[in-house]
């Protein structure tokens, strides 16, 4: 049926080949977003989707609802084993992409696609090999060029050296022939934020557009404004991966220096930085006011958002932040750094953005923002309503679908 899909006038729909390394309609993060782009494209185009087989069952069930033809590509077992032993998944991704390129050529010879789009992973380091099919091509949203602001390396702990290596590796990857070819051949490039836009070579900027990778889930739409109270205990929340670049010690230092005493800071998530964060919270004398909840099922996250007076998100290097959008949709005010993806997701009306001129200034400003929110419940309510409006206006799939369709149709014009 997909091969002969037609519109309401009986004309055959343009055929789109979509490639998503991260793809799971029942997953989270990039995997859920990888599926979301395919679903949106399938509302107006005939879509073939190439994905890994990890989430095959869920993909096939949901694909049947949208008339999406699926293809699954796995890497050789030997490659998977070697990458697991080496603790580096990049070679597996590159091997997968190489196989996808060959499959794309075979499928295109058979079906004659009108356009090809590689959506996930959201990184420029996985090249877009299918862009060489000789048809209009869209790459992204891609990210990966973000870096920690100068002077904040001390918050990375043991990850400081790896972060320095990452900057160098990024520059080398950008010059890799496969990445350069992908940038040259792509007819349109979506990037996750302004930082990534600035990272890519200037000669490609005429075909680059900033497109946030984050999107609202259907259940995010169900929340109503909350009654904001001047409670005795000011409740702060962090949700996300516990990695060094999320820089939670910035919040610890801000709390210690702010003079706040009647507060509770709950952290939801797990990761390699958790042990160090626990140690630092004790050393700074924050005691029982900081509570580490560990990993929590997605279905339970709403309970944490419902109790929170504000979400803190001090990411030093991030292309977006799903927790930010979840909080905005649930009328929870956000305090984040004015840097990279999070600094663009939130504006001055929908959250408090902390400058990153220097660590000392950031700590002072972060603490001041927390005191301000604690003492001013009406401000929390105003920010919460504005955050919800911004989430609805910028992060619904309808807006992304409009962008997707406009881009596709522009590239498909004679």
Domains defined for the chain, CATH in brackets? 2-143+176-212+396-412 (3.40.50.2000), 218-394 (3.40.50.2000)
Nearest to 400 by CA among 215, 217, 220: 215
pLDDT of residue 414: 67
Distance between CA atoms of 338 and 149, rounded to whole angstroms? 11
Distance between CA atoms of 334 and 104, rounded to whole angstroms? 42
Nearest to 152 by CA among 326, 339, 8: 339
Please answer whether residues 58 and 70 qualify as being in contact, where contact means their C-beta atoms are separated by less than 8 angstroms: no
Distance between CA atoms of 70 and 63, rounded to whole angstroms? 7
pLDDT of residue 261: 87
Quick one: 369 exposed, middle or buried, by C-beta within 10 A (0-12, 13-18, 19+)?
Answer: buried
DSSP-derived letter for residue 209 is E
Nearest to 216 by CA among 79, 81, 70, 36: 36
Q: Rounded to 5 degrees, what are φ and ψ at 225?
A: -55, 145
Distance between CA atoms of 327 and 130, rounded to whole angstroms? 37
Distance between CA atoms of 241 and 269, rounded to whole angstroms? 5
33: helix, strand or coil = helix
Please answer whether residues 352 and 328 qualify as being in contact, where contact means their C-beta atoms are separated by less than 8 angstroms: no
Q: Rounded to 5 degrees, what are φ and ψ at 67?
A: 60, 45
Please answer whether residues 340 and 318 qualify as being in contact, where contact means their C-beta atoms are separated by less than 8 angstroms: yes
Distance between CA atoms of 367 and 310, rounded to whole angstroms? 13
Distance between CA atoms of 414 and 409, rounded to whole angstroms? 10
Quick one: 410 exposed, middle or buried, by C-beta within 10 A (0-12, 13-18, 19+)?
Answer: exposed
Cα 407-409-320 angle, rounded to 5 deg: 20
Three-class DSSP labels, 144-197:
CCCCCCCCCHHHHHHHHHHHHHHHHHHHHHHHCHHHHHHHHHCCEEEECCHHHH
Transcribe 215-267 into DSSP letters: ---GGGGG--PPPP---SSEEEEEES---GGG-THHHHHHHHHH---SEEEEE
pLDDT of residue 267: 98
pLDDT of residue 6: 53
> What averages of pLDDT result for each successive group of 10 residues across the chain (414 residues)?
46 90 91 95 97 96 95 88 73 89 97 96 91 97 93 90 89 94 97 94 96 88 79 93 96 94 96 95 94 93 94 94 93 95 92 96 97 94 96 92 96 87
């Amino acid at each position: 049926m997909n091969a002969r899909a037609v519109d309401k006038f009986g004309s055959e729909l343009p055929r789109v080949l979509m490639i998503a390394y991260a793809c799971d309609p029942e997953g989270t993060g990039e995997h859920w977003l990888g599926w979301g782009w395919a679903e949106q494209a399938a509302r107006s185009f005939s879509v073939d989707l190439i994905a890994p087989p990890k989430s095959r069952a869920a993909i096939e069930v949901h694909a049947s609802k949208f008339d999406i033809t699926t293809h699954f590509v796995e890497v050789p077992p030997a490659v998977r084993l070697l990458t697991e032993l080496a603790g580096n998944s990049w070679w597996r991704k590159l091997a997968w992409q190489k196989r996808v390129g060959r499959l794309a050529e075979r499928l295109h010879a058979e079906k004659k696609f009108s356009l090809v789009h590689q959506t996930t992973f959201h990184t420029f380091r996985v090249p877009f090999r299918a862009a060489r099919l000789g048809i209009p091509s869209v790459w992204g949203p891609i990210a990966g060029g973000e870096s920690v602001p100068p002077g904040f390396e001390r918050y990375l702990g043991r990850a400081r050296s790896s972060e320095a290596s990452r900057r160098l590796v990024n520059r080398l990857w950008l010059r890799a022939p496969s990445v350069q070819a992908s940038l040259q051949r792509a007819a349109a490039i979506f990037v996750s934020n302004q930082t990534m836009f600035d990272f890519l070579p200037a000669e490609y900027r005429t075909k680059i557009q900033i497109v946030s990778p984050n999107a609202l889930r259907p259940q995010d739409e169900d929340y109503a404004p909350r009654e904001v109270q001047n409670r005795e205990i000011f409740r702060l929340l962090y949700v996300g991966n516990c990695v060094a670049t999320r820089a939670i010690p910035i919040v610890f230092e801000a709390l210690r220096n702010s003079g706040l005493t009647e507060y509770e800071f709950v952290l939801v998530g797990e990761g390699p930085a958790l042990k160090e964060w626990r140690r630092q919270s004790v050393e700074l004398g924050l005691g029982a006011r900081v509570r580490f909840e560990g990993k929590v099922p997605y279905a339970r996250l709403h309970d944490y958002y419902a109790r929170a007076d504000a979400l803190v998100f001090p990411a030093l290097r991030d292309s977006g932040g799903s927790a930010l959008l979840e909080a905005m949709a649930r009328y929870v005010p956000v305090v984040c750094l004015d840097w990279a993806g999070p600094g663009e997701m939130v504006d001055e009306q929908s959250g408090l953005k902390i400058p990153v001129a220097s660590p000392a200034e950031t700590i002072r400003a972060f603490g001041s923002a927390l005191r301000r929110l604690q003492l001013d419940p009406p401000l929390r309510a105003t920010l919460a309503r504005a955050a919800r409006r911004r989430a609805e206006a910028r992060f619904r799939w309808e807006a992304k679908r409009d962008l997707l369709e406009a881009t596709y149709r522009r590239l498909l014009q004679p």
